[in-house]
Structure 1
Amino acid sequence: MKFLTIGIMISVISAIVSYFMWDAAHAYQLPGIAGVAFIILSAIFSGNLVSGDRMRANFATETEDTRRERHEIMVHFALLGLPNLVVAVFLYYLH
């Protein structure tokens, strides 16, 4: 819940900064960039961007604790990114 709240704050602040830097027509840009960046980081930490052989090797060599830690980091980045993407899409269609 903490990371979702932080993501909402980042999206609101980036929307306000984007609004004052450009105008209302481009207020979606900074939240969109932040959202995509967090989602890409989430995908990197999930391990889905590697080949099947590499995924099997990583799964075989990592412990359950490191797997759980990697999964938590992935979820945290996703929770940071989703509010940013929602705000970006909302601002895009609002204007």
Structure 2
Amino acid sequence: MKSIGIGLSILLCTSIASFLLQDWGIIYRIGGGVGGLFLFAAGLLSGAFISGDRNRANFSNESNEETRRRHALFRKLFLIGIPNLVVAIIVYILL
């Protein structure tokens, strides 16, 4: 839940900046960029961008502790990026 809070904090800062500058496009540009960046990093850690053979080889060389640590970081990055990306898409559609 801390990760979602971090994502919402980033979103709140972006929203305040866009309100003060009277440019609502900042929300989808910065929020979408931040959300996309965190989701891309989560995808790298999850092995989404490599082939099954490479993923299997990496998995066999990892200890259980390394796998758990990598999956925990993947979940954290994913949960930070999702609120930013969802709100960026909603604001883009509404504008």
Please say whether Structure 1 and Structure 2 have the same fold, judged by a TM-score greater than 0.5.
Answer: yes
- For the residues of structure 2 that align with 1:16 and 1:10, how far apart are their CA atoms? 10
Q: Distance in 2 between matches of 1:54 and 1:67?
A: 15
Matched, 1:93 2:93: yes
Alpha-carbon distance in structure 2 between the residues aligned to 1:45 and 1:55: 11
Q: TM-score normalised to the size of structure 2?
A: 0.88
The aligned residue for residue 38 of structure 2 is: 38
- Report SS of the residue matched to 2:39: helix
Distance 2:26 2:81 in 1: 19
What's the TM-score once normalised by structure 1's chain length? Answer: 0.88
One-letter code of the match for 1:30? I
Unaligned runs of 5+ in 2: none
Instruction: Flag structure 1 segments of 5+ consecutive residues without an equivalent.
Output: none
Note the 1:62-77 alignment, pairs <5 A.
62-77=62-77
- In 2, Cα distance between equivalents of 1:46 and 1:15: 30
Preserved contact between residue 4 and residue 80 of structure 2 (Cα < 8 Å): yes
Give the secondary structure class of the aligned counterpart of 1:28. helix
**Cα RMSD, aligned residues only:** 1.7
- Tell me which amino acid in the other structure corresponds to 1:74: F
Match of residue 8 from structure 1: 8
- What is the alpha-carbon distance in structure 2 between the residues aligned to residue 32 and residue 19 of structure 1? 17
**How many residues are paired up?**
95
